[in-house]
A = this chain, B = another copy of it.
Amino acid sequence: MLIINKESKVTLYEQIYNQLREQILKGVIPENSMLPSIRNLAGMLQVSRNTVESAYQQLYSEGYVSSKGGSGFKVERIEPNLLGETATEPRVVNHPFQEINEQGVMNTERIFFQYGRLRFTDFPVRTIRRLMNQILLSSEIEGISAYRNRKGEIELRTEITKYLYEARGVRCNPEQIILGSGMPYCIGLLSQLLMRYTNEIAMEEPCYDAVRSAFINHRFKISPVPVEKDGIDITALDRSTAGAVYVTPSHQFPTGSVLPVNKRLNLIHWADEREAYIIEDDYDSELRYSSRPIPSLQSLDRKGRVIYINSFSKSFAPGLRISFIVLPETLLEVYHLFFSKYNCPVPWLEQKIMHEFMKQGHWSRHLRKISVSNKKRHDVLINEITAVMEDDQVLIHGRNAGLHIILEVNNGLTEKELIEKADAEGVTVYPVSSHYADCRNFKNNQVLIGFSSLSEVEIVTGIHLLKRAWF
């Protein structure tokens, strides 16, 4: 029995989803029973079919029900959760970036510890303006009126090849590089490729929620594999039936752990044995503050099992929308066959700018510059937390790399309460729970803190306000 309140602020979809989810978890709707048909439930509740469909799809995405195409949704056996913690209330739905979604502007009174946004002072705007005018005044500009190389301009792919070899040990030739316009495009392309080999993808638990949603939208079954202190649990991965795995070995997102070389070799061995593919997302690997960057998984792979992906969003500017895939030679033939009609989604101008920027040597200078400026922010953040909060009050996870940390807060408050209390003091921190496939796995006292968009003064102020909010 579901009860719908059309006057409620909670959307109809969420009301249906929440009640069904709770009834499945509590066993009120038992394993193997069929949910009512979408048409029937919509009629009964007097809501649109899309609303019911949406609620069912969300339950399906999270693994509460299975779907057999036209024949309806069946309640799954709910396994004991993977990591032992239990949180039966729905997770916090406050997603990163939502505050800039509609107007593209931030509320500047507040302090946003946002992940992924960069500080504009780190962007080499004068060099970019000069390069752009050179390009616009040259005869090359005629390139804008044509469809061009489908994988991306060969000159840019050649520069990327050199950079990847020097900085990340990646061994490839430019033919293996395919440009994309951000995560949804790249995961979309890889989904279309991998669908030919498997319908199940293993992912770190937790992992970047946006990537998981893209795989789910391509109808993959997701096998969540626990993340240990040193990265993905290979034994648990081996128990899954997945034909591919998505990993972030250099700096696990969001926990910050690093996969040691033995586990890297085991992971490649696993893929080789099973003829599976590994997607290595090397998203912020340039930024290590206490040691040198760790060579990529791809550099260890002799079997053509690693698909390497990365972007210029964390290291240069999200607004450029340039990312790239390095396909192993084993997949190139399949790629050429099935994607030969896909035009490159990255505009010609961005490709030319990036090419000139790299060729003229600005890129390596830029990397050194952002590494220094983000290390400063990182150090201020860590020092301030350590100075202001007690050792037994907080635990910092994933320091010394990247653009974020996870803060575990031991004051009895839940994630939701931590976020709300911070919010009341004018500070936005972000949930970790949304990055879990199974919301029963997460430790319910952690928040995600990004530091790349803030000045050092803002970081200090923000931490003081958090101290006031939480302790």
Write the residues of chain A forming the contact surface with B, with a CB cutoff of 8 angstroms: 13, 48, 50-51, 53-54, 57-58, 61, 69, 95, 97, 100-104, 106, 116-120, 122-123, 125, 128-129, 132-133, 136-137, 141-150, 153-154, 181-185, 188-189, 192, 195-196, 199, 209-210, 213-214, 216-219, 317-321, 330-331, 333-334, 337-350, 453
Contact = CB atoms under 8 A, between A and B. Distances in A.
Which 8 pairs from chain A and chain B are nearest by CB?
A144-B319, A319-B348, A210-B341, A181-B345, A184-B342, A192-B217, A120-B142, A118-B145
Contacts of A48: 330
Contacts of A150: 97, 101
B333 A319 contact: no
Contacts of A348: 319-321
Given A118-B145, A199-B69, A317-B145, A338 B57 contact: yes
Given A120-B145, A144-B318, A181-B321, 7 more contacts: A95-B340, A100-B146, A104-B154, A106-B146, A129-B137, A213-B339, A345-B345
Contacts of A213: 338-342
Contacts of A217: 192, 338-339
A18 to B, nearest CB: 14
A321 B124 CA distance: 24
Nearest to A11: B333
7 contacts: A53-B334, A132-B132, A133-B133, A181-B321, A184-B339, A188-B192, A346-B347
A149 B334 contact: no
Given A51-B333, A95-B341, A345-B184, A145 B119 contact: yes
A54 B136 contact: no
A118 B104 contact: no
Given A153-B104, A154-B103, A192-B217, A343 B125 contact: no
A104 B196 contact: no
A319 B57 contact: no
Contacts of A136: 125, 128-129, 132
A102 B344 CA distance: 13
A357 to B, nearest CB: 13
A139 to B, nearest CB: 9
A411 to B, nearest CB: 30
Contacts of A69: 199
A104 B53 contact: no
- From A57, A146, A188, residue with most partner B Cβ within 10 Å: A146
A111 to B, nearest CB: 15
Given A181-B181, A192-B217, A321 B347 contact: yes
Contacts of A54: 333-334, 337
